[in-house]
């Protein structure tokens, strides 16, 4: 049985934040969930996917976040408790649905989980999704700990049903990827089957209907604000006159500082867990008892602005600060010592930071950036493109996935990356604006996610670029989630269909389509040259399973390679041109780590001395 | 209870997430409050994986620079890179078997001299336990057991507020059954290696 389906209320388990959230949803009777995977939220979806195999939960990996929200929104409007899980930037994709869904509302509880990533551990930006609460008018809940995340998810479904509105559940990486001891509650059996009651004057958002629905949304916001002013997620601690307003993980750092410095009689904390609409009355009452207020929040000054508005409306003039010089930054994530230092300096509390060790004589450590795996077929494609475009001035828009890493030297394949799917559309802009050759990259999952529309646009507007679809048959970067191109039968998940990328591309009207096997370098180079010669939109599909995925399926058949040291003349073309991590230097000699090498043979095809050969089994 | 802060650094694939999990389970068995934090995602792409474990009362799940009480590095160069996490009284446990990053192979950096790594860490922290954990893991039956060797050495220091028996029990129940014996052997070899180290 799945660990998160353990039926022992009161039992304590060590759970990852994302597991605690998935468990909380089970305790809330979640019936229907949809997601597009994205770090740091991925394990929530993964657990739902696994749980769905052995329970009444319906779960799907949808093609993108907008689709997943729409799928879940319909289910919720049939009265079943639904959830939609995504990373922060996913909500940008789903925003179109979100904004008007807020007008329409829901019948069954709908919780939209968005995982922000301060410091951008694995994201292209660190946007603060609390502003989506303001933008859409929907309530926002944000937990401060793993245990609280589990409890708050349950509440989120109740709140959603009380308000008949979706609820945004906002986490940050340090909630998703922290682990703590969590006490289990009771699992509630989901009400899996719903029904849709037609009500076009509340569901079909033509202008005349929406004019009424916006009124309802504003009324709901008022009700939500009343709840925020009186709910257990917004609470006070301490009895001093130095006020601290905080949320999420910042609360943990503030509380530890208060305990360690023994400040409970000096400091009073307002912890905001229900942060949109802001608990205005509570904030105003809090401000009236304070002489000075510090707002501690990672990201944007969302609460700071709200607190200042409350002060202005109440005619209060006490100092309220958060972001600023010598205070907190809008950049990156916070940590306990940083919070302790800012707090003590802002409140003029004596504090001597502990002695640090001297790092001045530590030598520079060679970088260890994330890199494409040994044997990754993306490397082979990038190398082939480099060969095929030698002496040419080519722009390479790329996209979001493992292959984004191709921008690093020595491959240096990737000139412009902004968001999922943008490779296909930016190709058009670069080509038109410069008149130069454009060859772009996109992965299979990203192509289905949002690359298709840019390709259609390219064909319709008669643009001139070559797109390489790196079809590694899985959503690799986020941990091997299925996408519409995956062979689900091979994974023993019957009941799915498979969409063939080549047929899709042909159906979109692309006239020049070719398929390459990336490990065959000379053929790949030839095919790429032909595509570049074609005037118009050409597509190359590079087909090779992700090596990690193939390994997990026990399909990696290649034997590892070695270097014949008698033949090797130490040109080092192998290392310097493809930088496969299976290579290492033993003194002056180039060697191949046999446990890492997958036998892709790409280096053997590059070596001018033909010194790289399969390991002979004696 | 007071907190004990542990930082573990490793290269993706070296098994530090499992090591953290074992310690977390051992804390749960011992009734010791525990919070852990780690960064996923890039781990399998050859990057650095850093885990923070905080034992004892409190709320924070991460550890600021200069705050680690005890520090485990699965790789010598990574130990230097993460040294900012340590303070003068930190106890360090370092695997001396290097995994040079590919940047060294392509000439974009020089791998630090191992003796220099040892000298620097000794100079700056209170106690250093440094040995070839890969060799001991092989001796225990699998190079994959480096994590358990280092856990053994960590247990020997007595810095963590966890009974050693509970760490053993967590290894038995939370690592793959087929590897349990190898893992326990590796744990013991690491423990013994730390006992011999001054």
The residue among A124, A180, A361, A596 with the most chain B CBs within 10 A of its CB, best to mutate, is A180
**pLDDT given for residue A331 in this prediction:** 98
* Rounded (10°) CA dihedral B188, B193, B196, B198: -130
Nearest to B126 by CA among A357, A312, A552: A357
- Identify whether A114 is part of a domain: yes
Q: Which of B174, B176, B175, B152 has its CA nearest to residue B164?
A: B152
Domain boundary, last residue among A171, A196, A228? A228
Chain B residues near residue A585 by CB distance under 8 angstroms: 100, 104-105
Report CA A143 to chain centroid distance, whole Å.
Answer: 18
Q: What is the pLDDT of residues A242-260, one digit of tens each?
A: 999 999 999 999 999 999 9
Q: Looking at residue B134, which CATH number applies to its domain?
A: 3.40.920.10
A interface test, pick of B37, B88, B138 with most A CB neighbours within 10 Å: B37
- Whether residue A504 sits in one domain with residue A419: yes
**Contact residues on chain B for A575, CB-CB shorter than 8 A:** 105-106
As a whole number, the mean pLDDT across chain B is 94
pLDDT band at B47 (very low <50, low <70, confident <90, very high): confident
Residue A63 has pLDDT above 90, yes or no: yes
User: What distance in Å separates the CA atoms of residue B18 and residue B14, rounded to the nearest whole number?
Assistant: 9
Q: How far apart are CA A257 and CA A295, in angstroms?
A: 15
pLDDT of residue B107: 82
pLDDT tens-place string over residues A180-198: 999 999 999 999 899 999 9
Say whether A464 sits in a helix, a strand or coil.
coil
B191 φ, ψ to 5°?
Answer: -60, -50
Contact call for B64 and A12, based on CB within 8 A: no
Range in A56-65, A106-115, B105-114 with the lowest mean pLDDT:
B105-114
Q: Is A253 touching B (CB cutoff 8 A)?
A: yes
CB-based contact A255 B28, cutoff 8 Å = no
The alpha-carbon gap from B112 to the nearest alpha carbon of chain A, in Å, equals 7
Q: What's the ipTM? A: 0.96
Tell me how far apart the alpha carbons of residues A37 and A479 are, in angstroms, rounded to a whole number.
Answer: 9
How many contacts does A have with B, using Cβ atoms within 8 A?
178
The reply to whether A359 falls in a domain is no
Contacts of A42 in chain B (CB under 8 A): 40
Same-domain check for residues A54 and A200: yes
Same domain? For A57 and A197 the reply is yes
Q: Which residues pair with A585 in a beta bridge?
A: A590
Query: Is A183 in CB contact (< 8 Å) with chain B?
Result: no
Q: What is the dihedral of CA A330, A336, A338, A344, to 10 degrees?
A: 120
Chain B residues within an 8 Å CB radius of A477: 41
Same-domain status, A335 and A213? no
Residues in A touching B87 (Cβ below 8 Å): 354-357
Peptide bond into B90 cis (omega under 30): no
Residues A137 and A98 in one domain: yes
Q: Kindly state whether residue A368 falls inside one of the protein's structural domains.
A: no
Residues A464, A516 within the same domain? yes
The enclosing H or E element of A377 equals: helix A377-388
Q: Where are the alpha helices (DSSP H) in A347-376?
A: none
* Side-chain-side CA neighbours of residue A99 (13 Å): 6
Domain presence at residue A354? no
- Same-domain check for residues A207 and A70: yes
Residue A195 lies in a domain: yes
Per-residue pLDDT at B43: 53
Domain that holds residue B70: 4-194
What residue numbers bound the domain in which A507 lies?
377-552
- Given this model, what pLDDT does residue B150 score? 98
Cβ of B103 within 8 Å of Cβ of A367? The answer is yes
With beta carbons less than 8 A apart as the criterion, state whether A424 and A456 touch.
Answer: no
What pLDDT was estimated at residue A180?
A: 97
Q: What is the per-residue pLDDT for B41?
A: 54
Q: Is residue A617 scored above 80 in pLDDT? A: no
Same domain, A484 and A608: no
Strand pairing class (A82-87; A58-61): unpaired
**What whole-number distance in Å separates Cα of residue A390 and Cα of residue A386?**
6
CATH number of the domain within which A482 lies: 3.40.50.970
- pLDDT tens-digit map of A521-536: 999 999 999 999 999 9
**Residue of B59, B114, B126 best to disrupt the A interface, most CBs of A under 10 A:** B59
**pLDDT the model gives residue B42:** 58
Q: Which residues of chain A does B8 touch, with a Cβ-Cβ cutoff of 8 Å?
A: none
- Given this model, what pLDDT does residue B44 score? 59
Question: How many CB atoms are closer than 10 A to CB A86?
Answer: 30
Instruction: Give the number of domains in chain A.
Output: 4
On whether the CB atoms of residues A63 and A112 are closer than 8 A, the answer is no
Question: For chain B, how many structural domains are there in total?
Answer: 1
Residues on chain A touching B104 (C-beta within 8 angstroms) = 366, 584-585
Q: What is the mean pLDDT of residues B141-161?
A: 97
Instruction: For residue B84, give the nearest of A359, A364, A373 by CB distance.
Output: A359
Of the candidates A374, A372, A375, the residue with the CA atom closest to the CA atom of residue A411? A372
One domain, residues A237 and A216? no
C-alpha separations of B181 from A382, A460, B138, B148 in Å: 44, 64, 13, 11
**Does A416 share its domain with A540?**
yes
For residue A225, the SS3 value is helix
Kindly state the tokens that stand for A487. 């062979």
User: Over 90: is that where the pLDDT of B108 sits?
Assistant: no
Q: Which of B17, B11, B7 is nearest to B103 (CA)?
A: B11
Search chain B and give the residue with CA nearest A480: B41
DSSP structural state of residue A40: T
- Which residues 483-522 on chain A approach chain B with CB closer than 8 angstroms? none
Q: Does A142 map to a domain?
A: yes
pLDDT score recorded for residue A161: 98
* Nearest-Cα residue of chain A relative to residue B122: A357
Cα nearest neighbour of B83 on chain A: A359
B45 and A363 in contact by Cβ < 8 A?
A: no
Please indicate whether, in this complex, the C-beta atoms of B47 and A478 are within 8 angstroms of each other.
no
Q: How far is A191 from chain B (nearest CA, A)?
A: 34
**Would you call A408 an interface residue with chain B, using a CB distance cutoff of 8 Å?**
no
**What's the confidence (pLDDT) of residue A299?**
98
- The separation between CA A295 and the C-alpha centre of its own chain, rounded to angstroms, equals 27
For residues B94 and A370, the model is more confident at B94
Per-residue pLDDT band at A618 (split at 50, 70, 90): low
Q: Pull the structure tokens for residue A226.
A: 């009343």
Say whether both A403 and A499 belong to one domain: yes
Query: What's the rounded mean pLDDT across residues B174-187?
Result: 93
Q: Please name the residue of chain A whose CA is at the shortest distance from the CA of residue B125.
A: A357
CA separation for the pair A394, A396 (Å, rounded): 6
CB contact under 8 A, A252 and B101: no
With pLDDT > 90 as the criterion, what percentage of chain A qualifies? 94
pTM > 0.95: yes
Question: For chain A, what percent of residues have pLDDT higher than 70?
Answer: 100
Residue A578, pLDDT score: 92
How many CA atoms within 13 Å lie on the side-chain side of A280?
A: 14
State the greatest distance between any 2 C-alpha atoms of chain A, in Å, as a whole number: 86
In whole angstroms, what is the distance from residue A15 CA to residue B17 CA?
13
Contacts for A15 with CB less than 8 Å, ≥ 6 apart: A23, A146, A150, A179, A180, A181, A182
Show the tokens assigned to A114. 């968005």
Give chain A's mean pLDDT. Answer: 96
Q: Is A191 in the same domain as A144?
A: yes
Per-residue pLDDT tens over the stretch A291-341 = 999 999 999 999 999 999 999 999 999 999 999 999 999 999 999 999 999
Domain end (from A552, A577, A592): A552
Model confidence band, residue B26 (pLDDT cutoffs 50, 70, 90): very high
- Looking at A531, A552, A573, which one is the last position of a domain? A552
């Amino acid at each position: 049985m799945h660990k998160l389906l353990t039926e022992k209320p009161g039992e304590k388990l060590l759970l990852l934040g994302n597991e605690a959230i998935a468990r909380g949803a089970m305790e809330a009777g979640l019936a229907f969930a949809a997601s597009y995977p994205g770090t740091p939220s991925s394990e929530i979806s993964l657990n739902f996917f696994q749980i769905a195999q052995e329970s009444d939960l319906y779960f799907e990996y949808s093609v993108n976040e907008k689709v997943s929200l729409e799928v879940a929104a319909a289910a919720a409007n049939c009265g079943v408790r639904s959830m939609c899980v995504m990373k922060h930037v996913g909500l940008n994709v789903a925003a179109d649905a979100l904004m008007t869904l807020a007008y329409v509302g829901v019948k069954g509880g709908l919780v939209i989980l968005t995982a922000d990533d301060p410091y951008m551990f694995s994201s292209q930006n660190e946007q603060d999704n609390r502003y989506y609460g303001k933008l859409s008018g929907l309530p926002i809940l944000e937990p401060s700990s793993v245990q609280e995340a589990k409890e708050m998810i349950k509440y989120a479904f109740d709140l959603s049903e009380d308000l008949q509105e979706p609820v945004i559940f906002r986490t940050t990486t340090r909630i998703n990827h922290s682990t703590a001891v969590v006490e289990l509650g009771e699992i509630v059996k989901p009400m899996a089957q719903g029904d849709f009651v037609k009500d076009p004057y509340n569901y079909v958002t033509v202008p005349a209907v929406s004019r009424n629905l916006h009124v309802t949304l504003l009324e709901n916001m008022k009700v939500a604000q009343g709840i925020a002013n009186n709910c257990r997620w917004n609470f006070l601690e301490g009895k001093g006159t130095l006020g601290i307003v905080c949320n999420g993980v910042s609360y943990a750092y503030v509380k530890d500082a208060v305990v360690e410095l023994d400040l409970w009689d000096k400091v009073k904390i307002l912890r905001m867990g229900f942060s949109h609409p802001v608990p205005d009355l509570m904030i105003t009452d809090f401000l009236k008892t304070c002489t000075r207020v510090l707002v501690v929040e990672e990201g944007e000054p969302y609460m700071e602005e709200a607190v200042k508005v409350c002060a202005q409306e109440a005619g209060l003039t006490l100092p309220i600060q958060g972001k600023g010089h010598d205070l907190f930054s809008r950049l990156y994530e916070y940590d306990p010592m940083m919070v302790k230092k800012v707090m003590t300096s802002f409140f003029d509390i004596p504090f001597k930071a502990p002695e640090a060790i001297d790092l001045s004589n530590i030598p520079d450590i060679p970088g260890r950036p994330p890199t494409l795996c040994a044997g990754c077929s993306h490397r082979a494609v990038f190398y082939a493109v480099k060969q095929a475009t030698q002496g040419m001035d080519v722009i390479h828009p790329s996209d979001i996935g493992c292959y984004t890493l191709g921008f690093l030297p020595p491959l240096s394949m990737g000139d412009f990356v902004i968001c999922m799917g943008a490779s296909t559309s930016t190709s058009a802009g670069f080509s038109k604006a410069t008149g130069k050759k454009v060859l772009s990259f996109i992965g299979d999952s990203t192509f289905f996610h949002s690359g298709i529309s840019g390709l259609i646009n390219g064909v319709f507007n008669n643009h001139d670029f070559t797109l390489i679809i790196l079809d590694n048959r899985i959503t690799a970067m986020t941990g091997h989630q299925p996408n519409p191109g995956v062979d689900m039968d091979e994974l023993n998940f019957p009941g799915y269909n498979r969409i063939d990328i080549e047929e899709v591309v042909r159906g979109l009207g692309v006239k020049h389509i070719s398929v390459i096997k990336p490990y065959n370098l000379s053929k790949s180079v030839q095919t790429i040259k032909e595509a570049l010669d074609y005037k118009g939109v050409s597509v190359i599909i590079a087909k090779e399973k992700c090596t990690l995925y193939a390994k997990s399926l026990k399909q990696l058949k290649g034997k590892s390679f070695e270097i014949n040291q008698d033949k090797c003349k130490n040109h080092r073309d192998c290392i310097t041109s493809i930088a496969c991590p299976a290579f290492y230097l033993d003194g002056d000699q180039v060697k191949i780590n046999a446990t890492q090498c997958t036998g892709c043979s790409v280096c053997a095809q590059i070596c001018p001395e033909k010194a790289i050969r399969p390991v002979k089994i004696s | 209870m007071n907190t004990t802060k542990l930082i573990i650094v490793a290269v993706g694939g070296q098994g530090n997430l499992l090591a953290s999990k074992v310690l977390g389970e051992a804390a749960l068995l011992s009734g010791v409050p525990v919070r852990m934090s780690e960064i996923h995602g890039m781990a399998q792409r050859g990057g650095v994986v850093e885990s923070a474990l905080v034992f004892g009362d409190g709320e924070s799940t991460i550890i600021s620079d200069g705050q680690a009480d005890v520090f485990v590095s699965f790789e010598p160069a990574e130990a230097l890179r993460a040294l900012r996490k340590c303070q003068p009284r930190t106890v360090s446990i370092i695997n001396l078997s290097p995994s040079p990053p590919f940047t060294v192979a392509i000439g974009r950096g020089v791998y630090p001299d191992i003796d220099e790594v040892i000298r620097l860490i000794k100079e700056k922290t209170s106690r250093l336990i440094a040995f070839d954990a890969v060799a001991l893991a092989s001796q225990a039956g699998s190079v994959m057991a480096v994590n358990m060797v280092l856990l053994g050495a960590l247990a020997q220091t007595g810095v963590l507020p966890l009974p050693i028996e509970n760490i053993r029990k967590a290894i038995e129940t939370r690592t793959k059954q087929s590897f349990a014996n190898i893992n326990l052997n590796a744990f013991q070899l690491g423990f013994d290696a730390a006992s011999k180290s001054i």
